Chains A and B, each alone.
Chain A
Amino acid sequence: MGQVSINENVMDLTPDGPRLKGMRCNNCGNHVFPMQSGCPKCTSDDVEEVQLGTQGTLWAWTIQGFPPKAPPYLGEANPEKFEAYGVGYIELPGQLKVESRLTISDPSLLKIGMEMEIVPETIGMDEEGNELVTFAFAPSA
């Protein structure tokens, strides 16, 4: 029993933490997450998979105050045990803004423009008893 990525097509789980797999367009340099087969900016299909950055700044945020429906949610959906979590977009310099869970759920501690970095977050268990790990962003250490 160990830890596994929530989905290896979008995220590798490395000893250094989660690494997101995005698309880079070889024609215009545009990035998209997750990987897709064509570029929405210039319409080129000359694209490749790249690893996205791990640090950025907070661009927009909210707090998820009620349990999402399960499925699709894999986390704690029982209203009695549910704990609010942050959701935001983090601007990764030179690449894109990625939507992510945030480790902070207190509105007074979140500020647009604050520095953040990617961290692993266990969301649930898979069929074999492994921890399913997704990504979140936390204030930079």
Chain B
Amino acid sequence: MSDDVAIVGIGIHPFGRHEGVSGMEQGAIAIRKACEDAKIKWSDLQFAFGGSVAAGSPDHMVSQMGLTGLQFINVVNGCATGGSALISTYNTIKSGAYDIGVAVGFDKHERGAFRVQTGKQGERDWYGGSGMALTTQFFGMKINRYMEEYGITQSSLAKVASKAFRNGSKNENAWRREALGEEEVLQSQMLSYPLTQYMFCSPGEGGVALVLARADQAHKYTDKPIFLKSAVVKSRRYGSFEVLAPSLALDYADGPTVDASKAAFEAAGIGPEDIDVAQLQDTESGAEIMHMAENGFCKHGEQEKMLADGDTEINGRLPVNTDGGCLANGEPVGASGLRQVYENVLQLRGQAGKRQVPNNPKVAYTHVYGAPGISGVTILSA
């Protein structure tokens, strides 16, 4: 494993709904906190990558942060927008072009399910018009088929959601901080069979910033540098089953999560058995279950027993979504992947407070998945 790049500062603006605070201001607040954490000033940053899907061009924030002339590049890459900003920052430092920079992600979405416009210009939007083109439908169909194929029960879906809200209740930056029992989760409105309202995350707001530096200079900024072992984004291959697809191939191929996970483990030179804590995309509770297997942490179908045994609880064998995940934090697309990394840095530093994973976790994993069939994975080590 090479120690090329370290995370030396982290900052977050709480997730949730914030009337009167723009998405970009939430990103700017996150950067100020990350700079404070790294004991640097905005003017010390040599470059930035900023990600936002719905809250404006991130580089516009230089007018409030300070016109220092730094290289600031915007990234928009579907649900992997935040992760892509991080990968770009990582590669920039690894290449030797700069010594220190920041990855920032923020967003602010309208209420309710994501509105997807699929029509071509000048044509009637038949896809959304017919009542398809909803990301929620994809997740319902995928887990419904998966449950039949691998014997996963609806009770397991409820267990995942209930764990998310329990963990969220221990996270002062989470949106939903009220613990919810499995029965309440099951009794909430059926949105997209077999998934109920509390099994789904909601689009939301928030911002996260991470200051990255050359590993050999990291101790200038922090006593506890966290090393970024690998960061990978993969798009889909022919035959995979993806969100927002009017048709699918008859052939079947693994999705981008499987590809990104394999590539990230290979680059880091370790395997799933070495991971002490994982943040996995939980757009809805079925996604967390499927992603446990797609990321190599178990075989398909083993999740049923793992959940029954509490393996993915904070004190379990493989803690998953210790900060409450997307279910408790909501999904501001530009910030979501960076929130996972923020949480893992806290866990590896031993600063996660009431939700700290016991026994000094050393290696941590993040995974995002989303439209239009894209996945991003990072591996961090203390």
Whether A41 pairs with B126 at a CB distance below 8 angstroms is no
Interchain CB contact under 8 A, A61 and B144: yes
Q: Is the CB of B126 within 8 A of A10?
A: yes
Does B337 sit within 8 A of A, measured CB to CB? Answer: no
**How many A residues touch B, CB cutoff 8 Å?**
48
Measured between alpha carbons, how far is A101 from B191 in the docked complex, in Å? 16
Please, which residues of chain A bring their CB within 8 A of the CB of B126? 6-7, 10-11, 134
- In angstroms, how far is the closest chain B Cβ from the Cβ of A32? 6
Q: Are B145 and A6 in contact (CB under 8 A)?
A: no
State A71–B131 Cα separation when bound (angstroms).
10
| Whole-angstrom distance between the Cβ of A34 and the nearest chain B Cβ | 6
> Known contacts A72-B115, A98-B247, A112-B148: does B129 contact A64 (CB below 8 Å)?
no
Residues of A within 8 A of B145 (CB): 59-60, 112
- A76 closest partner in B (C-beta): B131
- Count chain B residues whose beta carbon lies closer than 8 angstroms to a beta carbon of A: 42
Number of inter-chain CB pairs below 8 Å: 130
Task: Indicate if the CB atoms of B137 and A62 lie closer than 8 Å.
Answer: yes
Closest to B110 in A: A69
Interface residues of B in 81-133 (CB under 8 A from A): 112-113, 115-119, 123-133
Residues of chain A with a CB closer than 8 A to B125's CB: 71-72
B270 near A: Cβ within 8 Å? no
CB of B150 within 8 Å of the partner chain? no
* CB closest chain-A residue, reference B238: A41
- Rounded to whole angstroms, the CA-CA distance of A49 and B190 in the bound complex is 39
User: Is B131's CB under 8 angstroms from A89's CB?
Assistant: no
User: B140: which A residues are within 8 A, CB to CB?
Assistant: 62-63, 87
A12 contacts the other chain (Cβ, under 8 Å)?
Answer: no
| A50: Cβ under 8 A from any B Cβ | no
The residue of chain B having its C-beta at the shortest distance from the C-beta of A6 within the complex is B126
Cβ proximity bits A24-38 to B, threshold 8 Å, 1 near / 0 not? 000000111110000
- B248 touches A (CB below 8 Å): yes
Residues in chain B near residue A101, CB distance under 8 A = 130-132
Check if B141 is an interface residue, CB within 8 A of chain A.
yes
Q: How far is the CB of A45 from chain B (nearest CB, A)?
A: 16
Tell me if B247 and A123 are in contact (CB < 8 A): no
Q: Determine whether the beta carbon of A63 is less than 8 Å from that of B247.
A: no
Chain A CB within 8 A of B74 CB: no
Smallest distance from the beta carbon of A27 to chain B beta carbons, Å?
Answer: 14
Most buried by B among A7, A32, A40, A96: A7
- Cβ of A75: which chain B residues have Cβ within 8 Å of it? 130-131
Please give the residue numbers on chain A whose beta carbons come within 8 Å of chain B beta carbons, in ascending order: 6-7, 9-11, 22, 30-34, 40-41, 59-66, 68-69, 71-75, 85, 87-89, 91, 94-101, 107, 112, 123-124, 132, 134-135
Given A65-B193, A72-B118, A134-B129, 13 other A-B residues pairs in contact with their CB atoms under 8 A: A32-B247, A34-B246, A59-B145, A61-B141, A62-B140, A62-B141, A63-B193, A66-B189, A68-B131, A68-B133, A94-B250, A123-B131, A135-B130
Q: What are 14 A-B residue pairs whose CB atoms fall within 8 Å in the complex? A: A11-B126, A33-B247, A41-B249, A59-B145, A61-B141, A62-B144, A69-B115, A71-B125, A72-B127, A73-B129, A87-B132, A91-B250, A97-B248, A97-B249
